[in-house]
Copies of this chain bind each other. A is one copy, B any other.
Amino acid sequence: MSKHTKEMEVLKEHLGKYQLKFTRQRELILDAFLKQEHITAEEMYHQLARKDPHLGLATIYRTLNLFCEAGLAQARHFGTQTQYDNVSHKGHHDHLICTSCEKIVEFENCEIEKLQEEVATRNGFTIQTHRLELYGLCSRCRH
C-alpha cells in the first residue's frame, strides 16, 4: 500500500517497544513526512487538511515528536519555528542557509563527518546525531 515500508517498519518497531498504537493518523503523517526533506508542523497541517480536514495540529506536533524519538526525524529550531528533518534523506542533513533570502541548500561532506567523529572520540563521546548549519549570503544576495 505505502511506498515507505522500511520506515513504516521502524515506526512499528518503536511503537511495539513502548506499547503505543499504530493509528490511521500516524500512518498518514508518516507518509506525508517521508515525501519531504524537511517540514514544519504548520506546513504539514495545511498540507494534510485536504486529506483529513479534522486532523488536529496537536496530533501533528505529537506525531512529529514521536518520529524524532523513533529516529525517523530530527528537530531543528530555525528562526521562530521548528523544522522536522527527514533523517532517511541521508547525506542531506547539513544546511547552507542564506541569511538574506532564507534559501536553504542541503549538502553532505564525508570528510567533515570523519573529523566530527575524531573530535567526539577525543572527548569520550559517542555521536548519535549531529547538526551543522552554515549561515551566510548566497551568490544572488551578495550583490
What residues make up the interface of A, taking CB atoms closer than 8 Å to B? 77-80, 96, 98-99, 105, 107, 109, 111-112, 115-116, 119-120, 123-139, 142
Q: Which residue of B is nearest A80, CB measured?
A: B77
Q: Tell me if B135 and A127 are in contact (CB < 8 A).
A: yes
Closest beta carbon of chain B to A98's beta carbon, Å: 7
What are the 6 tightest A-B residue pairs by CB atom distance, in nearest-first order? A124-B139, A77-B77, A127-B136, A128-B136, A125-B136, A130-B134
Q: Which of B120, B124, B126, B135 contacts A129 (CB 8 A)?
A: B135
Closest beta carbon of chain B to A34's beta carbon, Å: 22
Give A136 to B107 CA distance when docked, in angstroms: 22
Q: Which residue of B is nearest A100, CB measured?
A: B128
Q: Which of B116, B125, B127, B136 contacts A126 (CB 8 A)?
A: B136
Q: Which of B78, B96, B130 contacts A132 (CB 8 A)?
A: B130
Could you say which residues of chain B place their CB within 8 Å of the CB of A111? 115
Q: Tell me if B131 and A131 are in contact (CB < 8 A).
A: yes
Q: Which of B77, B130, B131 contacts A79 (CB 8 A)?
A: B77
Given A130-B134, A136-B127, A115:B112 Cβ within 8 A: yes
Give A119 to B79 CA distance when docked, in angstroms: 23
Q: Tell me if B133 and A137 are in contact (CB < 8 A).
A: no
Give A2 to B132 CA distance when docked, in angstroms: 35
Q: Tell me if B134 and A120 are in contact (CB < 8 A).
A: yes
